[in-house]
Chain A
Amino acid sequence: MKNAALLIDVTRCTGCERCVEACRQEHDLGVDLPRPGQAAVTGLSSTRLATIVRLPGDHYVPDRCRHCLEPACVSACLVGAMQKTPEGAVIYDAERCMGCRYCMVACPFGVPRYTWDEAVPVIRKCTLCHHRLVDGRLPACVEACPEDALGCGPRDELLAEAHRRIAAQPGRYLRHVYGEREVGGTAVLHISDVPLDFLGWAPPGQERSLPELTRAALSTVPATFLGVGSVMATVHWVIQRRIRLTGQAAAEGQDGAQEGTDPDA
């Protein structure tokens, strides 16, 4: 499947966590341990790549990597350990990773997790079950969901489905597909009866993709490099020439003008 996406219907989720369990088995995550000093595991962790946020009033919000269309983590990674695949998943390659954790800093949703307590630590995050997508299978969490709260398919189809559901039952949903345009669009879409802006760091309505911000800065690099280099060379040439000329003038017996500026003059 190309450009795969997830549609998460918050109003359908009953919080049974079978998706979490399916994910645990699929990725062989073992047991979910609180870190030292942490009372309990809350939310995503290195052993819980998909989770359900429980809101007051029986709202259950499945939470996982959004698989952004323009992922900040991918643009941040200096060794290409984070990659956006044609299947739509953002995947991680520990063989390349240096462990700088810039992806964790960069993610606008605060998703990537680190196996801090291991001597050889790695990043852990949802991979949208990329290995299954390649085989034409659905992600484990989608397959496990008994309430059809998770759906997987091509992003444009799911987007249309999301809008169809909202139009069919306007009272049931907020009129917004979370992920349609947020931070440039994400592959994981939420429709919900409660506001979900708390799931990310961006305030509501921020639709600019983050890699654009650094792309602008990086595009000036060659010009800065050549510009600074040539300006410095020119300044050096001009000043050395003036020093040489002043020296010659002084040698010719005239009053030598002091070059430069005295710092305390």
Chain B
Amino acid sequence: MLDRLSILKTALWAMVGALAAVTVYRFVYGLGAVTNLSDQAPWGLWVAFDVMAGVALAAGGFVLAATVYIFGLERYRVFVRPAILTALLGYVAVAVGLLFDLGLPWHIWHPLRYPQIHSVLFEVAACVMLYLTVLALEFAPVVLEHPRLQDPVLRRVYTVLWRVTLPLVILGIALSTLHQSSLGSLFLLTPYRLHPLWYSPLLPLLFFVSAVALGLMMVVLESLLARRFLRHEVAPELVAGLARAAVPVLLLYAALRLGDLIVRGVLPGALDGSWQSALFIGELTVSALLPAGLLMVRGIRMSGMGVGVAAALTVGGLVLHRLDVAVVAFARPAGVGYFPTWMEVVVSLGIVAGAVLIFIRFVETLGVYDGHPTPPPDRRKPLWQAAWMRSLRPAATGDVRRYSLAVVSAASLAVLFLPWGGASPRATPVAPPTSQAALRSGPGGARDFLLVAAPSGAVLSAEEARSVFLLDGDRAGEVVIFDHDAHLEREGGSAGCGTCHHLNLPADRSTSCSACHQDMHRPTDTFDHQVHVLALDGSQGCPECHAPGQMKTRAAATACAECHTDLAPAGGVLPAASDRWQAAPAYADAMHGLCVGCHERAVEAAAAEHDPHMARCDFCHDADRRSEVRALAPARTSRTWSTAALRAAGHDGL
């Protein structure tokens, strides 16, 4: 029997199945593997939809309780029980959503243990916990009406609960007022990150008013869905009455938002054509202005279609409002986006699906709609019936089988799509092994490689050839010929393997060449032509270096040392220049040959007057890792002392 309800249930069970698969993954691999949350976007779909929108969607409970119990509008009593049940399940869904979203969900009870009255979130948590209790007590009589629960003790509980209904309702309204508004107060703390079209000192009031409207419209929408799926008829005048009550609330909400923009002077921002202004206008229109306009027409109010569209618009628009405040309009650093992963969506939908299934189950077994118990059929079936095997689909078990199938197949499908492996760090890309021939005709065109490790023209023995290979050690697409044995010898034999292979950088296969071969070990050309042109008075100065009549080439020009006679100060120990255009000594050589020696002598001569740091090896060298120099290399930062600055600091001989 494939009626509307069992199709709906199949779909809901499928969502729950997918949820089950993602749940396991979420708790094994953590938030990072499942969500697109980041340090820049710490709150995402789960907070915005499951928690913030979830609480607002469950507002129907206190709104209807107030309507009937406080304002005495008895004819709406038919909505109270389903609204309370929706609220109860809604808040349970919020709690379940929180278990997914919290990093340490087993600490969810900590607000009770370490209460902090200065925290808005504590107030929300406390109110939600209390209100959940109140809702459970408000709904408990419905459960206790069940024919199986008719023993005398339970009857007494039932009577007590019945008598305290009014105090419970009033407590529920007060708690709801507090936490519905406090969800808005949460964002009072973020005046600079929440976009000015959403940030407002009135956030608590806006959240409360919109929650009242949302509560009314959810009850409307729900009664229409109940008519469609559960064949529960409610008089159209009653639905229209609720919808009409929502109109002034929606108009108040819209007026508050616009009035607030005007008072704060940011109304022009709503019309400046930015995506935020478009979102703001769209959100306000869909959530309040359009449905309020529609519902003012009696004909639309009385038609199921019309009132359904208006309610759906409000529900969608106000859920969007919560999403906007918590995620969309919440500033992130430039270039950092957030869009939920499919797994986040599956969790959000799965929790809602679960709540709807429980709702349907309660409607089927308890007097949710009719207000008095319906004696259930005798559900005690034998554990096993031989007849079950004979028919492929006996009517009694057909639905159950289909639901199980939906759960299992959705779960398997979800498992299939899960990004197994979790959030392991991105591995450094490593070029695949390449043959020499392939390299020669690679994308860079034909290239020849010089075998630097072996004497030119030498024939390598098999043993030697094994130790010399092509290596793209920096993973930069550039290959060098690498003499493994030479490195091994240099690093102290087998004890030196760790230098490259076992000091692995994270997610890296082995140490890259540049980890050791840094610019600080290479002589560097420090000549800057432009600086000299400026210093020598523009083109007037050319003859200073380029003799008239000579080619203006580097080779023919005056060498550095011919003018800068003090480049190598007395007492310095530097590699001898092999030609007049020798590049400046490598940073390491200069340090050892010039700076350290000079400082050592100065400290030795008068320890009190000189900073001992530069004379100490461990000022630069890490004691444990001899080959690693602390990050003092000027290679990429270029903020080095100028000669003039050193001279000003009292360095002689420069």
Is B584 on the interface with A (CB-CB < 8 A)?
no
CB of B371 within 8 Å of the partner chain: no
Residues of A within 8 A of B182 (CB): 217, 221
| Total chain A interface residues with beta-carbon distance under 8 A | 81
B34 to chain A, nearest CB (A): 10
A14 close to B103 (CB less than 8 A): no
Known contacts A35-B32, A214-B189: A17-B631 contact under CB 8 Å = yes
Q: Given A119-B27, A264-B237, check contact A259 B119 (CB 8 Å).
A: no
- In the complex, whether A100 has a CB less than 8 A from a CB of chain B is yes
Within 8 A of B (CB), among A221-243: 221, 224-226, 228-229, 232-233, 235-236, 239-240, 243
B55 to chain A, nearest CB (A): 14
A171 in the interface (beta carbon within 8 A)? no
Q: Out of A105, A120, A217, A226, which one reaches B42, CB within 8 Å?
A: A105
What's the Cα separation between A226 and B174 when bound, in Å? 8
Instruction: Specify which of A104, A121, A211 is in contact with B31 (CB 8 Å cutoff).
Output: A121
Nearest residue in A to B422 (C-beta to C-beta)?
A: A117
- B171 and chain A: residue at smallest CB distance: A229
**Complex Cα distance A121/B104, Å?**
7
Choose the segment among A126-134, A135-143, A200-208 that binds chain B (4+ C-beta atoms closer than 8 Å): A200-208
Give the CA-CA distance A16 to B613 in the complex, in Å: 16
B427 to chain A, nearest CB (A): 10
* B110–A96 touching, CB < 8 Å: yes
A162 located at the interface, meaning its Cβ lies under 8 Å from any Cβ of chain B in the complex: no
Interface centre among A15, A37, A100, A120 (most CB of B within 10 A): A100
Q: Is the CB of A213 within 8 A of B189?
A: yes
Selected contact of B173 from candidates A122, A232, A243, CB within 8 Å: A232
Option from B171, B237, B632 in Cβ contact (under 8 Å) with A263: B237
Interface string of B151-178 (1 = CB under 8 A from A): 0000000000000001001110111011
Contact partners of B175 in chain A: CB under 8 A: 225
Contact yes or no, A263 B240, CB < 8 A: yes
Contacts of A218 in B (CB 8 A): 117-118, 120, 123, 185
Does residue B479 face the partner (Cβ distance < 8 Å to A)? Answer: no
Is the pair B244, A14 in contact by a Cβ cutoff of 8 Å? no
Would you call A201 and B639 a contact (CB within 8 A)?
Answer: no
Contact at B613–A106, with CB atoms within 8 Å?
A: no
Q: For the complex, is B69 an interface residue (Cβ under 8 Å from A)?
A: yes
A239-263 CB mask vs B (1 if < 8 Å, else 0) is 1100100000000000000011001
| Bound Cα distance from A116 to B178, whole angstroms | 32
A97 and B104 contact, Cβ closer than 8 Å, known pairs A117-B30, A263-B241: yes
A110 to B190, CA, bound (A): 11
B-chain residues with CB within 8 Å of residue A221 when the two chains form the complex: 123, 178, 182
B333 to chain A, nearest CB (A): 7
Indicate with 1 or 0, residue by residue over B503-530, a CB within 8 angstroms of chain A CB atoms: 0011100000000000000000000000
B118 in contact with A203 (CB, 8 Å)? no
Instruction: Tell me how far the C-beta of B125 lies from the nearest C-beta in chain A, rounded to whole angstroms.
Output: 6
Chain A residues with CB under 8 A of B123? 218, 221
Binds A, one of B70-78, B271-279, B352-360, B491-499: B70-78
CA distance A18 to B630 in the complex (A): 8
Asked if A21 is at the interface (CB within 8 A of a chain B CB), the reply is: yes
Pairwise interchain contact B116-A77, C-beta atoms closer than 8 A? yes
Q: A54 to B638, alpha carbons, bound, how many Å? A: 12
Tell me the chain B residues, 111-132 only, with Cβ under 8 Å from chain A: 111, 113-114, 116-123, 125
Residue of A at shortest CB range from B332? A110
B541 touches A (CB below 8 Å): no
Q: A239 to B27, Cβ gap below 8 A?
A: no
Bound-state Cα–Cα, A10 to B592, Å? 29
Per-residue CB contact flags for chain A residues 1-37 toward chain B (1 = under 8 Å, else 0) read 0000000000000111110010000000001011111
A221 to B124, CA, bound (A): 11
Look across to chain B and name the residue whose beta carbon is closest to the beta carbon of A262. Answer: B241
Bound CA–CA A241/B333 (angstroms) = 59
Is there a chain B Cβ closer than 8 Å to A79's Cβ?
A: yes
B105: Cβ under 8 A from any A Cβ: yes
How many angstroms between the C-alpha atoms of A79 and B111 in the bound complex? 5
- Is B71 touching A217 in the complex (CB atoms < 8 A)? no
Contacts of B105 in A (CB 8 A): 98-99
- Assess whether B192 is interfacial by the CB under 8 Å rule: yes
Q: How far is the CA of A258 from the CA of B401 in the complex (A)?
A: 54
Of all chain B residues, which has the CB nearest A120?
A: B104
Residues of chain A with a CB closer than 8 A to B619's CB = 146
Query: A34 contacts B425, CB within 8 Å?
Result: yes
Docked pose: A240 CA to B31 CA in angstroms:
52
Q: Binary interface profile of B, 2-16, with partner A (CB < 8 Å = 1, else 0)?
A: 000000000000000
In this complex, how many residues of chain B approach chain A with their Cβ under 8 Å: the count is 86
Whether A106 contacts B32 by the Cβ 8 Å rule is no
Query: Please, how many angstroms separate the alpha-carbon atoms of A100 and B30 in the complex?
Result: 14
Contact of B191 among A99, A213, A229 (CB under 8 A): A213
Across the interface, name the chain A residue whose C-beta is closest to B182.
A217
Is the beta-carbon distance between A117 and B33 smaller than 8 angstroms?
Answer: yes
Q: Is the CB of A225 within 8 A of B632?
A: no
Q: Is the CB of B507 within 8 A of A33?
A: yes
Assembly CA distance A98 to B47 (angstroms): 14
Contact B71 A235 (CB under 8 A): yes
Bound Cα distance from A33 to B508, whole angstroms:
11
Does any Cβ of A come within 8 Å of B465's Cβ? no
Greatest chain B CB density within 10 A among A81, A116, A233 is at A116
Cα A44 to Cα B40 in complex, Å, equals: 11
B43 engages A101 (CB within 8 Å): yes
- Closest chain A residue to B121, Cβ basis: A78
Structural contact, B104 and A119, CB atoms closer than 8 A: no
CB distance from A42 to the nearest CB of B (A): 9
A155 at the B interface (CB under 8 A): no
A77 in contact with B119 (CB, 8 Å): yes
When each residue 233-256 of chain B gets 1 if its CB lies under 8 Å from chain A and 0 otherwise, what string results? 000010011101100000000000
* Chain B contacts for A79, CB-based, 8 A: 107, 110-111, 113-114, 116, 122
Task: Give, as a whole number of angstroms, the nearest-CB distance from B504 to chain A.
Answer: 10
C-alpha gap A46/B105 in the complex (Å): 20
In the assembled complex, B188 has its CB within 8 A of some CB on chain A: yes
Q: A64 contacts the other chain (Cβ, under 8 Å)?
A: no
Closest CB in chain A relative to B124 CB, distance in Å: 8
CB distance from A58 to the nearest CB of B (A): 5
B177 near A224: Cβ-Cβ < 8 Å = yes
Q: Does A210 contact B (CB under 8 A)?
A: yes
Set of chain B residues within 8 Å of A99, measured between Cβ atoms: 102-105, 107
Of B29, B117, B242, B245, which one neighbours A119 at CB under 8 angstroms?
B29
Which residues in B have their C-beta under 8 angstroms from that of A211?
Answer: 118, 189
Q: Which residues from chain A contact B177 at a C-beta distance below 8 Å?
A: 224-225, 228
Q: Which residues of B contact A14 (CB under 8 A)?
A: 637, 639
The reply to whether B103 and A264 form a contact with Cβ atoms under 8 Å apart is: no
Q: Determine whether the beta carbon of B426 is less than 8 Å from that of A236.
A: no
**In the docked arrangement, what's the CA distance between A121 and B103, Å?**
6
Considering only residues 54-98 of chain A, those with a C-beta below 8 Å from chain B are: 54, 58, 60, 72, 74-81, 94, 96-98
**Contact A75 B119, beta carbon cutoff 8 Å:** yes
List the A residue with the shortest CB-CB distance to B239.
A263
Whole-angstrom distance between the alpha carbons of A54 and B37 in the complex?
26
A21 engages B42 (CB within 8 Å)? no
Instruction: For A94, list chain B residues within 8 Å (CB).
Output: 104
Contacts of A18 in B (CB 8 A): 630-631
A-B pairs, 7 with minimum CB distance: A99-B103, A263-B241, A116-B32, A117-B32, A78-B122, A104-B42, A201-B192
Q: 11 more A-B contacts (CB under 8 A) besides A98-B105, A100-B101, A211-B118? A: A31-B506, A35-B423, A58-B639, A75-B118, A79-B116, A98-B107, A102-B186, A110-B40, A117-B422, A239-B70, A260-B72
11 contacts between A and B (CB under 8 A): A45-B39, A78-B121, A98-B107, A105-B193, A114-B39, A118-B30, A119-B29, A121-B31, A224-B178, A229-B170, A229-B173
Which residues of A are at the interface with B, using a C-beta cutoff of 8 A? 14-18, 21, 31, 33-38, 44-46, 54, 58, 60, 72, 74-81, 94, 96-102, 104-106, 108, 110, 112-114, 116-122, 146, 200-203, 206, 210-211, 213-215, 217-218, 221, 224-226, 228-229, 232-233, 235-236, 239-240, 243, 259-260, 263-264
